[in-house]
Amino acid sequence: MGSDFYQQSILPYAGIIIKICRAYTHNHADFEDYYQEVCLQIWRSRANFNKQAKWSTWVYKVALNVCLTHLKQHKRGERRFASDALSELEFDEVKAFDSDEINQLYNAIKHLSEIDRAVILLYLEEKSYAEIAEIIGASSNSIGVRVSRIKERINKIIHQMG
Amino acid sequence: MSKSIEAMWKQGFVDEGELSVPKVNDLYNQKSQNIVDKLQAMFALNIKAIIIGCGVMFIVMTMIGAPLLGGYICLLVSPLIYIAKRELSKSYDLSKGQSSLDYLQNFDLWLKSSIAAYGAYYRVAYPLLYLGMVTQAIMSQAGHKVLALCLTQLPTDYVLFDVPYYLWLVILLVFVVVVRYSEAIYRFDLNVVYGRQFKKLEEIIADMRELKGV
């Protein structure tokens, strides 16, 4: 993009965009595609931004929408939903980051449903329940319970992965 | 699991330092190629469909006793196949060694000149097709019956090739309409089949121009 818009309005949020895109892709080429698509979509839809909301909230919302939409379009074969049948999970060891712990956490996150992935990423980024609810379009009352359930499940998966 | 996931996350990204941000300076490379590939594939498929359709048309026309009209339609369609193949091969020759925007703009120019070439063909082809159908209708047995019925109901001394003058007037009127609107009909057909892709191409070019500040 190379424009002022990218420097000022996207680059400061590149970290979260990267983290979100990583959670929805399985290889570097897809990750770069998703990242670029998110940047473009933020740029294209900048006119729709409601200035009463936070820009960061808007960025998260767009990033998640793009990833979820792309995932639906490009899905081939099985869909992975949260399931208690952990023994049947196949753990794909994606080395997206330098830190082994983060890679392990990401691989666990990738076994969650698409929406649960969004919820936990936003939670880990220290967004409030109200903000998470606004971004994913759910009621804020259910977020707390949902986060607890997701954390429990991630811990289970990590434990299984050994 | 001694460490909480919150601690893993925080610690992990502290160690990670700055996340490596992908380059976004050639955003539309892949998109440009995708839209061009898609349109080229559609055009190639269209050529095959025309050739197959032509063959089927000839067989059907022969079966219903109008082999001459079938042959005539095939003859009319041959230039279209030639034009389509020629135009498509031009698109493959477009240079890819430029920026995505230049490439797409060239593709768009090629598209417009192709549509103009097809438009010129259809301006002639549709009226000729209509004349062929009229000739077949007049020469067929069913046509003779209709003409006889017309002359019985509305007798007249002004007859040419067994066709009363008032039918010639109708034929002429329809011919004028076909001549006048042949290209419009073609463009309507074109939009039905390719409209969405053309719109997408326009949107991508507009996006790229705005990105580049053109």
What would the two tokens of residue B12 be? 């992990």
pLDDT at B27 over 70: no
pLDDT at B84 (0 to 100): 92
pLDDT at A96 (0 to 100): 63
Q: Left (φ > 0), alpha (ψ -120 to 50) or beta: where does A137 sit?
A: left
pLDDT at A79 (0 to 100): 38
User: Which residues on A lie below 8 Å from B13 (Cβ)?
Assistant: 15, 99, 102
User: Which residues on A lie below 8 Å from B3 (Cβ)?
Assistant: 101
pLDDT at B45 (0 to 100): 93
User: Which residues on A lie below 8 Å from B16 (Cβ)?
Assistant: 97-99, 102
pLDDT at B127 (0 to 100): 93
Q: Does B30 touch chain A (CB under 8 A)?
A: yes
Which tens digits make up the pLDDT trace of A118-152?
A: 999 999 988 889 889 988 888 888 899 999 999 99
SS (H, E, C) B104-133: HHHHHHHHHHHHHHHHHHHHHHHHHHHHHH
Residue B159 is inside which H or E element, if any? strand B159-160
Query: pLDDT band at residue A77, thresholds of 50, 70 and 90?
Result: very low
User: Which residues on A lie below 8 Å from B211 (Cβ)?
Assistant: 1, 3, 43
d(CA A15, CA B78): 58
What would the two tokens of residue A62 be? 């767009």
By C-alpha distance, the chain B residue nearest A123 is: B6
By C-alpha distance, the chain B residue nearest A32 is: B22
Which tens digits make up the pLDDT trace of A25-74?
A: 888 778 887 888 888 888 888 888 877 778 888 899 999 999 988 887 76
Q: Residue A15 is nearest to which of B12, B19, B213, comparing CB atoms?
A: B19
Please check whether residue A26 is in contact with residue A94, taking contact to mean a CB–CB distance below 8 angstroms.
yes
Q: Does B14 touch chain A (CB under 8 A)?
A: no
Say yes or no for a CB contact (<8 Å) between B12 and A97: yes
Q: Residue A35 is nearest to which of B5, B22, B207, comparing CB atoms?
A: B22
By C-alpha distance, the chain A residue nearest B19 is: A15
Say yes or no for a CB contact (<8 Å) between B25 and A99: no
Query: pLDDT band at residue B51, thresholds of 50, 70 and 90?
Result: very high
pLDDT at B110 over 80: yes
DSSP A138-151: --HHHHHHHHHHHH
pLDDT at B207 over 60: yes
Mean pLDDT of chain B: 85
Say yes or no for a CB contact (<8 Å) between B211 and A43: yes
Say yes or no for a CB contact (<8 Å) between A14 and B19: yes
pLDDT at B96 over 50: yes
User: Which residues on A lie below 8 Å from B101 (Cβ)?
Assistant: none
